Structure 1
Amino acid sequence: MTIIRRPFVFMRHGETPLNAAGLMGGITDSPLSERGIEQAKAAQARLDRTWSVVAISGLQRTRITALHAVPQYEPIVLLGLNERNWGDLEQQPIAQQTPYEVTPPNGEPWADFQARVIDAINQLLTHYDTPLIIAHSGVNRVLNNVILGSPYGPRINNAEPTLFTPSQDNDWLITPY
């Protein structure tokens, strides 16, 4: 799987009560915490530019983040950007999370999750020059897996935009935005 080689900015949604409690949110449709709203508002200054599109998942935490971070835009919803379905592990401590390659009980297989995320991102990159994607930490892990070869590493911070830029040598530069 590959990502179309065009620059884009990715941002994880603001903090949710589940994030604050160290629980897996997955497809649970949780709102933002007060801190998450403040994080999204703080990101507004960094995101104050012209975007060809703002794309979000179908979960309210991304919609609320976009409302506060880029209020001048009406985002498009791409369900392919939804977080992974963790099945029986939804709302359980992150410490209980299975390795990414292992399908959680009654959950979504990693290969299926990765395929739908890459398909959604490639749809955006096919049609838009400068997209802003507001989604989830799992989506970022898919990006890391495709670009860096592994989904593992530190969890991306809430509401901190990251620029993904294809480089001349067929690699990608991943930098804070």
Structure 2
Amino acid sequence: MSTQLKNLSDFSHTTVPSGANFKFGIIVAEWNAEITGALYNGALKTLLNNGVKEENIISLPVPGSFELTGGAEILLSKRSDLDGVICLGCVIQGDTKHFDFICDAVAQGLTNVGIKYSKPVIFGVLTTNNLEQAQDRAGGKHGNKGDEAAITAIKMADFAANI
């Protein structure tokens, strides 16, 4: 496995632009709150550390990962001043196909919202086989997917602003 020994949140190989001129929404799923809370803390800290002003960050909860799509749609329909939306969630494989349906719906839904509004809608959703893998990617040995989502949001907002 290529990620077995790698911290996925290492950005030393890339330049991250300043986020000082951008406004972001963060939508976080309440389901698997231990994990999504860690993702949120990582995303918020990363945005602030990269120049995004606290008053330019809107944070909103939704019940679960499936609701991230609706949350992003509602937020962008009401707040056209946002430069992007970071969606954070965690879906852990269970014994049924529920996992597959939710992961596919969220990935497709967030993609469609981004296309509809021509704004970055960032997929910061962990799709893991078990809780340990989720913990490893929410501030554990593989970094924090929340950090990665925030960096992606800044880079994509900068991309859009400079096209």
Say which structure is richer in strand. Answer: 2
**Taking structure 1 as the reference length, what is the TM-score of the superposition?**
0.33
Say which structure is richer in helix. Answer: 2
**Taking structure 2 as the reference length, what is the TM-score of the superposition?**
0.35
